[in-house]
Amino acid sequence: MSAIKKRSPLDRAPPLRAPGQSLTEQLQNESYDHIIAPGMLAVMIVIMAGLEWFRYFTAAKPNPVIYTVAAVMAVAYATVKIWRAKKRLAQIRLGRDGERAVAEHLEWLRRKDFVVLHDVPNGDANVDHVVIGPQGVFTIETKTHSKPVRGECKVTVVAGEVFANGHRIDRNPLVQAKAQARWLGNFLRENQFEPFVWPVVVFPGWFVESFDNQAEGIWVLETKALAKFLENEPVRHSLDDVKAMAAALRSYVRAQSAQ
């Protein structure tokens, strides 16, 4: 049976470039071209020179069998590593593009007195997006799953588990999102705020079947539905509180980045 073809859940137009993306790409290219590649070349030449000196001092005869076996093993190892890396890189790239697409959609909130922060460090993980506004504080976890080329693309929540086209998603995003909201709530309370913090999971490009989110204590949404959900929320914080909470979180993010 042939594998089911998949496609990106994002719109055909790629997300806009991130701030400083050109410099990030330049940094990566410069690092590879001027540090990694020359370093690898130097190591290879040193190893080859060392082997020749060993043969010179020991008068050892050339033994291509040993080097051939080593070369075959090295090629096999590299092939497996590259194949796995390509798959992993594709997943990372899809996740990155999903976060960027959601970030673009959140920009409209800045006109509604919201503050939007991205990639907030949270111990060993991070919160993809944090939205702070009069209606409350919302942690947003982006889940970008590839879609089948044809057929249904539906996300459902059943008994606290999330399913994409009937397949349970590993690493329950509800648990993850609630933990992020709990962490942010504790952080803000430690800074003398009394925030309303609500976790959100968004699935770009998927249809999300409605469910009793109040009972679950979380929203699971398609990205475009987030605006309507926020508009229906009552005002809970003053603009001064919004600015103060955002300032405290910005200071924390900068301090983490400086470490």
* C-beta separation of 120 from 127 below 8 A: yes
Beta strand spans in the chain (E): 6-7, 115-122, 125-133, 136-142, 147-148, 154-158, 161-164, 167-168, 197-202, 207-208, 219-221
| pTM of the predicted structure, to 2 decimals | 0.77
Token output for 160: 């606290």
Q: pLDDT tens string for the chain (259 positions)?
A: 456 667 666 665 556 556 556 567 777 878 778 778 788 878 888 888 888 888 888 887 777 787 788 778 888 888 888 788 778 778 888 888 888 888 888 888 888 889 998 888 887 788 889 999 999 999 999 998 888 777 788 888 888 888 888 888 888 889 999 999 999 999 999 999 999 999 999 998 888 886 656 667 899 998 888 888 888 899 999 999 999 999 999 988 888 877 7
